[in-house]
Structure 1
């Protein structure tokens, strides 16, 4: 019988692959848990609430859009060049100023008459973060307009101006991009 004096390394390889797999699994979980997760605030609601009630939200929005309109008034926009690689034109964002800002909205019927009994809520948010959200509820109706005052903006970058107007059983939304230059 031949004597096999060569060493076999396959048990060491199996043990090495097992240690490598456990190390990579630990690294994946650790790096994934260190990235902050931001909830969506589409329709000015938590994601779960918007997801559960999306059919009612869409019906109320459709009813609002057939009877009413929301307009952002007296704002300066930035002229942006269109992306040549995109077929979708981008609207010009509202130009924000450092410090206190004010926004005026008009909620009107399709005939052009102002709606004075709307329940209006305003939210200033950043596109991918909820940490700096500023929510203003029950915006007052003054001189035929809904005016949001004392919106303090300190950091430069992209923002979104969101407005929700509830008139009776209908609910309308306005979402306008804005930008504060550094």
Structure 2
């Protein structure tokens, strides 16, 4: 008589399934990353009020100019809070560091923006005041939360950028 052997269990190899699954996962993750990148393009380098590629090509010059500007001038935004849906004047005072003398002649550009999007950007007009005070607006902020005041200041051959945050609430 024959001796019967127990039925041998057939082994399954799962490595090919894992490799195919990993490749599919990587392809889906790459597609998802591309979709997010296309939905959120680089629009504007907020700090320097210019397109990203322009800032990238001249960043060393911009930083050197900023360092010289910071050594000569001080720009002060005294405003900290803004009331939503209420017209507000935004003051900016520019002083020379030597003697704390007010700057009377300057070209100032202001951009009011949300930190996360350019959809609500505002560029108010400037009206010159006295003692180095420049007033922008009136502006109306319609969303609560943090807003940034980004300014580009040109005084003679000096150029600088100043960032300030305000909070809008009811």
1:63 equivalent in alignment to 2:68: yes
**What residue ranges of structure 1 are gaps of 5+ in the alignment?**
76-93
User: What is the DSSP-based 3-state SS (H/G/I as helix, E as strand, rest coil) of the residue aligned with 2:77?
Assistant: strand
How much has 1:13 moved relative to structure 2? Answer: 4.9
Partners of 1:101 and 1:23 in 2: CA distance: 54
Length, aligned pairs only: 157
**Structure that is richer in strand per residue:** 1
Contact 1:38 1:130 in 2 (8 A): no
How much has 1:18 moved relative to structure 2? Answer: 4.7
Q: Which residue of 2 aligns with 1:135?
A: 123
Partners of 1:52 and 1:136 in 2: CA distance: 28
Partners of 1:140 and 1:180 in 2: CA distance: 23
How much has 1:45 moved relative to structure 2? Answer: 2.2
1:46-94 alpha-carbon deviations (Å, 9 max, x no partner): 2322222122112211222222221224x3xxxxxxxxxxxxxxxxxx1
Rg: which structure is higher? 2
Give the alignment of 1:93-104 within 5 angstroms: 94-99=80-85, 100-104=87-91
**What's the TM-score, normalizing by structure 2?**
0.76
Contact 1:38 1:129 in 2 (8 A): no
Give the alignment of 1:113-128 within 5 angstroms: 113-128=101-116
**What residue ranges of structure 2 are gaps of 5+ in the alignment?**
1-7
Partners of 2:123 and 2:41 in 1: CA distance: 17
